[in-house]
């Protein structure tokens, strides 16, 4: 009988874990490319200069930052590879990023409806979300999910310690990006967490 209770409890835990993952709107988009424009960052921050191109294929994401270089994130391994324009490569733990797709990896969600809206001509369902990462960090955000783009969150407002940061995604394509976009040099230098990373 005790074994039956243990099995039943294990099945319940597994079902809850699957349900939590199913409620993660960022895991529905396993492959896409888009331009993301951020606002609410400090003036002069390169992330606000004309937008960045972002790509996802499975558990890999790439963000291009113009002449600065590009960043590849392995969502499954929580690892960042920052490749500078000079060719220098740094490997570090993917923490403290203002990227909801990175924050959402392995997280649990508490979602509540916040009405409807239209963004860039797309009719959207709006939701308030409380995201709890595996390490216990809690982030509050609001997402505008486009009905005609498979529920893609084309606008996200993230609450940070320095105030709200808004990300808007444009030029969205669901074509699979080439695998070559997610490679990095072999000579990546192991680093600690990025100093001064936004929380």
- Residue 197 inside a domain? The answer is no
DSSP code at position 19: H
Work out the percent of the chain whose per-residue pLDDT is above 90.
25
**Structure tokens belonging to residue 16:** 């809850």
If one counts the domains in the chain, the total is: 1
Q: How far is CA 152 from CA 101, 124, 141, 146, in A?
A: 11, 9, 15, 6
Question: Would the pLDDT of 118 be above 70?
Answer: yes
- Helix and strand totals (H; E) in the chain: 2, 12
- Residue 64 inside a domain? The answer is yes
Question: Would the pLDDT of 60 be above 80?
Answer: yes
Which residue would you say has higher pLDDT here, 36 or 42? 36
Domain containing 29 equals 2-190
User: What is the pLDDT confidence band of residue 172, given thresholds at 50, 70 and 90?
Assistant: very high
Which of 76-85, 88-97, 187-196 has the highest mean predicted lDDT (pLDDT)?
76-85
Where does residue 22 fall: left (phi above 0), alpha (psi -120 to 50 degrees), or beta otherwise? alpha
Cα–Cα distance, 62 to 39 (Å, whole number): 20
Kindly report which listed range (14-23, 47-56, 185-194) carries the lowest average pLDDT score: 14-23
Provide the CB-side half-sphere exposure for 3 (13 A, CA): 0
- What is the pTM (predicted TM-score) of this model? 0.74
Average pLDDT for the chain: 76
- Residue 55 inside a domain? The answer is yes
Strands of the sheet containing 153-160, edge to edge, are: 108-119, 122-132, 138-146, 153-160, 163-173, 31-39, 52-57, 60-64, 69-74, 79-84, 89-93, 189-190
| pLDDT computed for residue 50 by the predictor | 60
- Residue 195 inside a domain? The answer is no
Cα–Cα distance, 55 to 167 (Å, whole number): 15
User: What is the pLDDT confidence band of residue 18, given thresholds at 50, 70 and 90?
Assistant: very low
- Residue 133 inside a domain? The answer is yes
| pLDDT computed for residue 98 by the predictor | 57
**What CATH number does the domain containing 35 carry?**
2.50.20.10
- Residue 161 inside a domain? The answer is yes
- Residue 17 inside a domain? The answer is yes
Which residue would you say has higher pLDDT here, 161 or 42? 161
Which residue would you say has higher pLDDT here, 143 or 42? 143
Question: Considering Cα of 47, then 53, then 56, then 57, what sign does the dihedral take?
Answer: negative
- Residue 196 inside a domain? The answer is no
Kindly report which listed range (98-107, 123-132, 145-154, 163-172) carries the lowest average pLDDT score: 98-107
Which of 79-83, 103-107, 141-145 has the highest mean predicted lDDT (pLDDT)?
141-145
Kindly report which listed range (23-27, 37-41, 80-84, 150-154) carries the lowest average pLDDT score: 23-27
């Amino acid at each position: 009988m005790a074994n039956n209770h243990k099995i039943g409890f294990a099945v319940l835990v597994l079902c809850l874990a699957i349900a939590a993952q199913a409620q993660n709107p960022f895991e529905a988009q396993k492959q896409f490319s888009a331009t993301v424009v951020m606002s609410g960052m400090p003036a002069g921050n390169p992330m606000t200069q004309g937008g960045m191109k972002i790509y996802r294929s499975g558990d890999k994401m790439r963000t291009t930052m113009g002449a600065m270089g590009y960043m590849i994130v392995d969502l499954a391994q929580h690892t960042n590879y920052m490749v500078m324009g000079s060719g220098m490569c740094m490997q570090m733990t993917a923490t403290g990023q203002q990227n909801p797709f990175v924050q959402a990896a392995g997280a649990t969600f508490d979602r509540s409806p916040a009405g409807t809206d239209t963004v860039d001509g797309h009719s959207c369902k709006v939701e308030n979300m409380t995201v709890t990462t595996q390490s216990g960090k809690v982030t509050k955000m609001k997402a505008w999910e486009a009905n005609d783009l498979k529920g893609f969150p084309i606008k996200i407002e993230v609450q940070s310690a320095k105030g709200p940061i808004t990300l808007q995604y444009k030029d969205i394509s669901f074509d699979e990006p080439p695998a070559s976009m997610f490679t990095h040099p072999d000579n990546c230098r192991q680093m600690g967490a990025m100093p001064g990373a936004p929380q």
